[in-house]
Amino acid sequence: MRIELPDVLVRKAHSGDLPALVALFAADALGGHGDTADPAAFPDYARAFAVIEASPHQTLYVAERDGEIVGTFQTMVTTSLTGRGSSAMIIQAVQTREDMRGQGIGALMIEFAIAEAKGRGLRLIQLTSNVIRKDAHRFYERLGFKPSHLGFKMALK
């Protein structure tokens, strides 16, 4: 599948995008991550952004339309002894601004990530999605992802 959205640019995020990204995550009613647009929390996001930006194995991307952030996702590359020492991409924190959903932006972002993984010669791409996000599950399956594993989490704070 090739998504053509000439008015949407997928690019690496920069620090100036942080307020829009925080607002995007804070507006997510289903996420349950405790994200907030409260200015007192901004240093937490800035700290996390600095860690991501400094990592050679993580990249935060944005989708931009008409100068506005309309979506985001993050990729991480991990290497494991399984798969004969191969590397894989993990995609997480995929968000499309609510008023922009259904316009192909999410598909464009995932297609971009797939192209990045293929370009790096990675073995596979994996992602997790909250069990309550049924629309997202259908979206990922439509893009070729298969539900193959059961994930577990343990909150530590």
- Of 100, 85, 25, whose CA–CA distance to 60 is shortest? 25
> Residues 92-137: pLDDT tens digits?
999 999 999 989 999 999 999 999 999 999 999 999 888 888 888 9
- Of 77, 157, 65, whose CA–CA distance to 117 is shortest? 77
> Residues 137-146: pLDDT tens digits?
998 999 999 9
Rounded distance between C-alpha atoms, residue 128 and residue 97, angstroms: 19
| Beta-bridge partner residues of 95 | 72
Domains of the chain plus CATH, in order, are 8-142 (3.40.630.30)
